Structure 1
């Protein structure tokens, strides 16, 4: 196994763990912590060159991530998404690359729509006593609570990941 193949494999595992962690973290706490986003960023910085991503590919990924970050903070300023969502979207775009970020945004919107319909429908129902004992379930059942958009972002990213350069590196 070459260093680039091993690096791509480690990158895939790190990214999957990070996205699953972000989705769960957002579901349970309504927050995506900076340490998680910074960890994904740090691993990208180390693993992208080790996996053989060329400077042009990395440059386009960085540019795409910056555009996503700017758009994310615009949406945050309008109170449409949380700051953690904006940062997670940007670091996810970095990992997925310029070619796959539009797919990621599309799937995030679709999963976010489904999540919205489900949560808004459940909020019309009475929360059972067992659910009231759980802080995160109680929080999600309140109309004042926003949507944990990381729950939509994580599966969207995982759906797109196999079509990225990281998996192309594994098949070489």
Structure 2
């Protein structure tokens, strides 16, 4: 049972990292990443002995995160894949880790934006041109911000405080 619990718990960090890397290199987060996160949450929660009420709280946090993500998408702040990843990660984190997730994601997003502004400056253009195509695109002025990176950082920082990780540590 322990190895099954560990396998389920590894799904979360693995997929948010894959989502971040995919976003950084292609400006897309495939739907399958968020779908697998959502589908894997429920067996993971049951394998870790989460109570139905706790699973309901997780689902509510995921729903609130989806509404926030949709609002940010509607405002043009993030892409649709970012909104879905944001919600799927919120589902996994539960309360009180969701507050850490939101805070760290906002801070990481700000740091990412400032870093990209510097990377996209005229002073960096000649150095950037020597990089791989995905990096050149990342450093192109006017390009979008791959917010999946900030989402992954927030999710990974908050994950140890999630109710699922706490249940695993207690078990």
Q: TM-score, normalised by structure 2?
A: 0.92
Q: Which residue of 2 aligns with 1:154?
A: 152
**Partner-residue secondary structure (3-state), 2:136:** helix
Q: Distance in 2 between matches of 1:10 and 1:69?
A: 26
Of residues 51, 65, 79, the one that matches 2:48 is 51
Residue 102 of structure 1: aligned partner: 99
Map Cα deviations across residues 104-126 of structure 1 (whole Å, 9 max, x no partner): 01000111111111110110021
Aligned-partner Cα distance in 2 for 1:143–1:75 = 22
Shift of 1:88: 0.5
1:139 touches 1:145 (CA, 8 Å); kept in 2?
yes
Measure how far apart 1:166 and its partner are.
2.1
- Aligned positions, number: 167
Secondary structure of the 1:98 match is coil
2: CA distance, partners of 1:71 / 1:151: 17
Structure 1 runs (4+) greater than 6 angstroms displaced: none
Aligned partners of 1:85 and 1:56: how far apart in 2? Answer: 28
RMSD value, Cα: 1.3
Mark the runs of 5 or more structure 1 residues left unpaired by the alignment: none
- TM-score, normalization by structure 1: 0.91
2:158 matches 1:165: no
Residue matched to 2:130: 130
Separation (CA, whole Å) in 2 of partners of 1:65 and 1:98: 10
1:37 and 2:37 matched: no
Q: Does 72-81 or 134-143 show the bigger shift? A: 134-143
**Counterpart in 2 of 1:92?**
89
Would the aligned equivalents of 1:64 and 1:94 in 2 still touch at CA under 8 Å? yes
Shift of 1:11: 2.4
Distance 2:154 2:112 in 1: 12
Shift of 1:145: 0.8
